[in-house]
Amino acid sequence: MVLDKEKLVLDSFEQFFTFEFYLRYLRQNCSKDLRRIQTLKKLIRKKFIKLDTVNKLSQTNLYFPDDPGCIYPIDLELHDLVDWTLNALQFSYISLDSLCIYLGYGSLQFSEQDTNLLFTPFNELKEHVKPSQKDLAYRFSDLTSQQNIKAVFNWWCKHIDGNYRDTNKLIGKIGTARIEKKLEEDGTYKTIHCFSQVPFLSPNVIFFRNENYCIYNSDYNEIKIDGEEVTNSIVLSVRVDKDFQNLDEVLDEFVDHLRGRQAMWFFDKLQSGDYPGFELNDPVPTIGSKLKLSSQYCPILDRYNSITKNLVGLMCYDEVKKNKNGIKKTSITNVAEKLSHDIAEFIDCDASVIEKDYYYVSKKINNINEVIKLKQHSKKSPD
């Protein structure tokens, strides 16, 4: 159990570094796209604040679909509404189902008036998204977030330090778990493992959008064949002029989408009292099973102790970029020397080693766009 948890921590670091390297690549090569997304987020925020001021949107009442008489008051958090709308703009469709996920509820319904208000920022800003922005490898809400690399480094150094683990009664190589005693009703104690979460954002690369295929859902996309609109359908469109290395995985993804949508249709029928003429034989796929872990493809971390190397190099890289003369080797050396003193309480790292880590990370940042493409196409290494 502990080993499985530590594997998840390492996977989280793989996704963390992929994301942070890509973010710096964008700042270097696609800064206009990033600035537009940040501006878009500010505009969405302003529109929701105005809607809340005029219409008290944050104090809206929701109700459960199976019991319309059960009113459920809830405070809509501004950051949830902003991120939800931001991601909807990226993928060119908006749905209340995805908002329910942001709010942490399986299914809630809104009045028609509240729905129109919630969709207002999306409808007013949907023409402001550029094609180049939609091609970015991560969700807009992730790309506009801020992370404290120094705090992540501090957390990592503490959890791999034997003395820290002993003092805090942590177990495992990374120290993300502790054993505690839980008092049972019969008066006996049960040994349980308590796991801590990693204190950083580790988003997944966007997989469900490829240049050689696309999966359409008639709930969100207008689909027409021979002039006739297609409803209650999932459609797989495959380019015949593109090479396929991962057709089996594309078909698996399509089946997951199909089974998921069929389960929703089945449930809706049951709720309306109209029993479907067939049974669902296969289990409904979970969100976790549909998301592919980018950590398994073209990994950035080549070994366990490279986490420290990448974190140190990343901190040095960020400090160098703050320095106007950072492109000069002398400036990089000065930054490395200062950083060596700053992190001395955690690790003993010579400035020359930090400088090497800087160049190591810089190279990875410069190449990260190609790595992202390999991950998106489910390839473990370059051909």
CB 141 within 8 A of CB 89: no
Angstrom distance (rounded) from CA 136 to CA 158: 34
Give the pTM.
0.75
Given this model, what pLDDT does residue 151 score? 94
> 40: Cβ–Cβ under 8 A, 6 or more apart, which residues?
86, 89, 125, 128, 129, 140
Number of domains forming the structure of the chain: 2
* Structure-block tokens of residue 251: 């078909």
Domain ends where: 291, 310, 327? 291
Domain ends where: 135, 169, 191? 135
The reply to whether 319 falls in a domain is no
The reply to whether 88 falls in a domain is yes
User: Average pLDDT of each block of 10 consecutive residues along the chain (383 residues)?
Assistant: 69 92 95 94 93 73 52 70 91 77 65 85 92 89 94 91 81 73 71 71 73 72 85 84 66 75 73 71 51 60 82 95 62 91 92 95 94 73 55
Given this model, what pLDDT does residue 368 score? 94
Domain ends where: 263, 291, 319? 291
The secondary structure of residue 260, as a DSSP letter, is H
Type of residue at 260: G
The reply to whether 150 falls in a domain is no
Residue of 145, 146, 138, 114 lying closest to 48 (CA atoms): 114
Sign, CA dihedral 90-92-98-102, equals positive
The reply to whether 324 falls in a domain is no
Domain extent, residue 236, equals 213-291
The reply to whether 271 falls in a domain is yes
Angstrom distance (rounded) from CA 354 to CA 60: 53
The reply to whether 306 falls in a domain is no
Residue of 61, 65, 89 lying closest to 76 (CA atoms): 61
Neighbour-count burial of 242, counting CB atoms closer than 10 A to its CB (0-12 exposed, 13-18 middle, 19+ buried): exposed
Pairing of strands 228-230, 67-73: unpaired
The reply to whether 196 falls in a domain is no
Long-range contacts of 235-241 (CB under 8 A, 24+ apart): 237/213, 238/212, 238/213, 239/211, 239/212, 239/213
Do 131 and 36 lie in a common domain? yes
Instruction: Give, in degrees to the nearest 5, the angle at Cα 148 between 142 and 152.
Output: 105
Given this model, what pLDDT does residue 294 score? 54
The reply to whether 15 falls in a domain is no
Residue of 302, 321, 297, 227 lying closest to 25 (CA atoms): 321
CB 330 within 8 A of CB 320: no
